[in-house]
A = this chain, B = another copy of it.
Amino acid sequence: MQEDDYLHHLAFDSVVFGFSGEKLKILVLEYHNTNLFALPGGFVRQDENLNDAVRRGLKERTGLDNIYLEQFYTFGDVARYKPEVMERIIRANEIPDQDLSWLLKRFVSVAYYALINFDDVVPVPDALSDSCAWYEVDRLPPLMLDHTEIVEKALETLRDNIGRKLVGGNLLPARFTMKELQHVYEAILGEKLHRGTFQRKMLSTGVLKRHEKQYSGAANKAPFLYSFE
C-alpha cells in the first residue's frame, strides 16, 4: 500500500446486503485490537475506475465476481475526518515501515450497496481486520465514523428502489419460491405483505420464469420454483 498507488482523499465503502433466516444482514468487519467496527471499503488506484475499485474490494471480501452493485451517495462532510481513528487502526496493526501519512488525511467516501446471495459467500477479513461477518441490519454494533449513517441511507435507497427495479431476487439463489421472495421484500420494506396480491404483482411483471416444483417433504402443496428472466 504505497503512497502513490492510490488517489488521495478518496475512499469507498460498501454496504453488502444478504438475506438469511428471514433477516436482512450486512457485512461488517472488525479491526485488530481496536474494537472498531466498520463497513468494508477501500481506496482507488491511480489507473483504476472507481466502480472497478469497488468490485475489486468486494471480490476480496466475498470471492464473488458478478455482484449487483449500486452507487447511492458520496459522503463529504469535514466532520467525518477523524485522523485519530485511522491512527488507532494503524498502530494496532504494527505495519512495517512505509509512508502512511496519506491515510491520516481527510477522505471523501463514495458509498455503494451490493445485493448478494448469502449462501454464495464466506466472508474474508483482510490483513487489518480480525473478522468480516454478517450482522442483522437492526442489530448492528456501533460502527466507526459515519458508517451507521451510511447504512441508514443504503437502506432508504434500497427501499425506494425495490418498487421500481426488480432487485429483490439478487438476494436469493438462482431458483426460489414465491414465499422466499416475499420474505425478502418484507425484510427490506419492514412490513407484512398480502400473499395473494404479492404473487399477482410479481407474476404480472412477466420477468419471472416458472420451473419445477420443490418437494420439501412437508405435508402440504409443493410450491413452484422461480427464477428471473
Check: A131 CB closer than 8 A to any chain B CB.
no
A93 CB → nearest B CB, Å? 25
| A50 and B77 within 8 A (CB) | yes
Residue from A49, A51, A53 with most neighbouring chain B CB atoms (10 Å): A49
Cα separation A78 to B52 with both chains bound (whole Å):
10
Chain A binding surface, main DSSP class: mixed
Q: Is residue A73 contacting chain B, with contact meaning CB distance below 8 A?
A: yes
For the complex formed, measure the closest distance between the CB of A192 and the CB atoms of chain B, giving whole angstroms.
23
Is A213 an interface residue when CB atoms closer than 8 A count as contact?
no
Q: Mark A155-171, 1 if CB is under 8 A from B, else 0.
A: 00000100010000000
Check A49 against B73 for contact (C-beta < 8 Å): no
Per the bound structure, the CA–CA distance linking A74 and B112 in Å amounts to 11
Q: Which 10 A-B pairs have the closest CB atoms?
A: A50-B76, A74-B74, A7-B9, A49-B77, A74-B110, A49-B78, A8-B8, A9-B10, A10-B108, A9-B9
